[in-house]
Amino acid sequence: MKRPRPQYILLALMLCTAILVVVEVLLARGLGGWLVAVDPLVRSDAIFVLDGKSPHRDLEAAALYRDGWAPRVVVARPRSDLAEDVRHEFGLETEQDKVWRTLRRAGLPETAIVRLDRIVENTEEELKADFDYAKAQGFRRVILVSSPYHTRRIRVIWRSQFEREVAGIVRATRYQRVDAARWWRSRRSLEDVAHEVAGIANFLLGAPLPTFDRSDQF
């Protein structure tokens, strides 16, 4: 039996490498698009603006309110890694304060803005607080507003835990531009995608990693 010639072996290795590169590129391009999960708009009972990326998400919530998609905007109360006494000493606003101020400047009346009291540490806790408020108010459908790459994690969590009782429409803010097909071309986009992939994996594994170190005293 003749042994394969070295050039044939080299050609086969080059072909396999090329195939792996093509598959990797296709998967990479698909990952960004997969993370952006947006649902069609339907008139709802409330708009929940997810914490982070201010003011992009806040402005989207304001735009949806002004367009008549829901009669109120609900704002979370995220935990800060800054001690409250330090915040008070320097007169700093909370993240919830900043969102409220943006919504007011966008023209929303105070009566249309709801500020939740429960402190939350991550997306799962925030969605649970949103769901509990929606249930207590008898809401049947809500709109969940966030950044484009964050929408898939929201949909995964909401549909697995809350969708049976309160329908959730996931929307990405139009004020934060992303190129989902070229997400690896910038450090910021790369960080966002890596953060979301890790967040989804952590949730699916039962959230073994906390958002904050449990030894934190803030």
148 located within any domain: yes
Measure the CA–CA gap between 107 and 211, rounded to whole angstroms.
34
* Helix or strand run (H / E) with residue 212: none
Question: How many domains are contained in the chain?
Answer: 1
Q: Which domain holds residue 56?
A: 46-176
198 located within any domain: no
By mean pLDDT, which of 83-92, 174-183, 194-203 is the weakest? 83-92
130 located within any domain: yes
**Tokens in use for 217?**
């005293």
Residues 6+ apart with CB under 8 A from 137: 45, 46
pLDDT confidence bin for 90, thresholds 50/70/90: confident
Measured CA to CA in angstroms, residue 161 lies from 98, 166, 195, 208 at distances of: 29, 10, 21, 18
Measure the CA–CA gap between 71 and 113, rounded to whole angstroms.
9
Q: What is the DSSP string of 93-153?
A: PPHHHHHHHHHHHTT--GGGEEEEEEEE-SHHHHHHHHHHHHHHTT-SEEEEEE-GGGHHH
Ranges 29-33, 69-73, 189-193, 204-208, most confident: 69-73
20 located within any domain: no
Coil vs helix vs strand at 74: strand
Amino acid at 119: I
Q: What's the mean pLDDT when you consider all of the chain? A: 86
**According to the model, what pLDDT value does residue 6 have?**
57
- Average pLDDT for 42-65: 94
Asked if the model's pLDDT at residue 99 lies above 60, the reply is yes
Asked if the model's pLDDT at residue 216 lies above 70, the reply is no
> Measured in whole angstroms, how far is the alpha carbon of residue 158 from the centre of its chain?
12
Q: What is the DSSP string of 139-184?
A: -SEEEEEE-GGGHHHHHHHHHHHTTTTSEEEEEE-TTS---GGGGG
32 located within any domain: no
Share of the chain above pLDDT 90, in %: 61
For 131-181, write each residue's pLDDT tens digit: 999 999 999 999 999 999 999 999 999 999 999 999 999 999 999 989 888
Buried b (16+ CB within 10 A) or exposed e, 123-141: bbbbbbbbbebbeeeebee
- CATH number of the domain bearing residue 127: 3.40.50.620
82 located within any domain: yes
Coil vs helix vs strand at 32: helix
For 107-124, write each residue's pLDDT tens digit: 999 999 999 999 999 999
**According to the model, what pLDDT value does residue 18 have?**
40
